Amino acid sequence: MAAVEPAPVRARPRGDSPSRWRKRQQVALAVTWGAGLFVCVSAAAIIGFMAFKGLQYLRPDLLWTRPLPGFTNAEVGGILDPIAGTLLLTVIAIAIALPLGVISAIWVVEYGKPKALARAIESGIEVVAGTPDIVLAIFGLAIFQLPIMAPLSFTASGGGVFGRSFIAAGSIMSLIALPLIFAATREGLMSLPPRLREGSWALGKTRIGTIRTILLPQIRPGIATGTVLGMGRTVGDTAIVVVLLGATLQIESQGDFPGLNILRGTGGTLTTYVYGASPAGESNAPEKAYAAAFVLLIVVLALNALAARIGRRTKEESV
């Protein structure tokens, strides 16, 4: 029997340091680092620039002063109406998209028969998700300009239907948020193990009772994340506001019925205000544009942070 040589023992284990890697791998590392750094720097530059400009021009009183028509920074007033318009439009859009998205996702995952119809719904929602917002806006205009839709929008004295109102813009805006809410609900339901459902059915619970009591509470954080992301998209959209809300400076009500008059009326949001106030728009008030853009950025960042926070909680508490 040959003598067994002991395995060689290294004096000190070699660390896995990039300086020992081959050239190609070092290059790959540098490229990925560079790409990541570029994205970070771009994001930081946008936020930094907007914060610098925004904080320079943002006065607290702007937030509760109504905007006025004018041409210079001193004349145009504050941004109360765009902020209110943004909030109102988002609330309308989510109020439509949330129940619609959640319920249709429940149908697709939990019932889903006939299968062809379930697939049709899924691809239909994918189509909506992929449609540019301006196309959705034009489609909305075609619908809300129908004479039968006159009670829902701004109507000229001669009886011409403009098809522009918070209702019109909000319902089309809901299509922007719908795919995100639908996808969040669908993914959530599909990730739940079948044994959870069977366990509940085996206790003599109905399908809908199981969905309400067992399944929905489980995926609520996921739905919330989808909803917040949808809100972010709604807040940031411009095309639908221009086409279907009129992108007016102030919120202008229509009719005398309190509450409904605002829903039927036209208005604008922060996005259209930034456009209008910038040198590219009607007035030349870049200071106000920067201030409004900064507020918009803060709103969107806050919504994203909220989504990330909710998403993190999902992971910790899931089954």
Partner 1 sequence: MSTQDTDPADALVVDDYGPPLPPPKRRLRLDRQPTVVAPPERQQHKETRQGDLGPERMRVESLTVRYGDKPAVKDVSLAVHKGEALALIGPSGCGKTTLLRTLNRLTETTNGATRDGAVRLDGVEVEQLELTQLRRRVAMVFQQPNPFPMSIFDNVAYAIRLHDHKRPSDDALAPQVHEALRRAGLYDEVRDDLSKPALRLSGGQQQRLCIARAIATEPEILLMDEPCSALDPKSTTVIEELIGELRRDLSVVIVTHNLAQAHRVADRVAFMYLGELVEIGDVDQIFERPRARRTQDYVAGVFG
Can you give the binding site for partner 1, defined by CB under 8 A?
193, 195-196, 198-206, 209, 212-214, 217-218, 317, 319
Task: Report, in Å, the least distance between residue 207 CB and partner 1.
Answer: 9
Task: Report, in Å, the least distance between residue 317 CB and partner 1.
Answer: 8
Task: Report, in Å, the least distance between residue 99 CB and partner 1.
Answer: 19
122 vs 252, beta carbon nearer partner 1:
122
Q: 67: which strand partners? A: 77
200 vs 271, beta carbon nearer partner 1:
200
**Residues 66/77, Cβ–Cβ less than 8 Å:** yes
- Residue written as tokens 């429940």? 106
5 vs 317, beta carbon nearer partner 1:
317
Task: Report, in Å, the least distance between residue 318 CB and partner 1.
Answer: 8
Task: Report, in Å, the least distance between residue 203 CB and partner 1.
Answer: 5
72 vs 206, beta carbon nearer partner 1:
206
148 vs 202, beta carbon nearer partner 1:
202
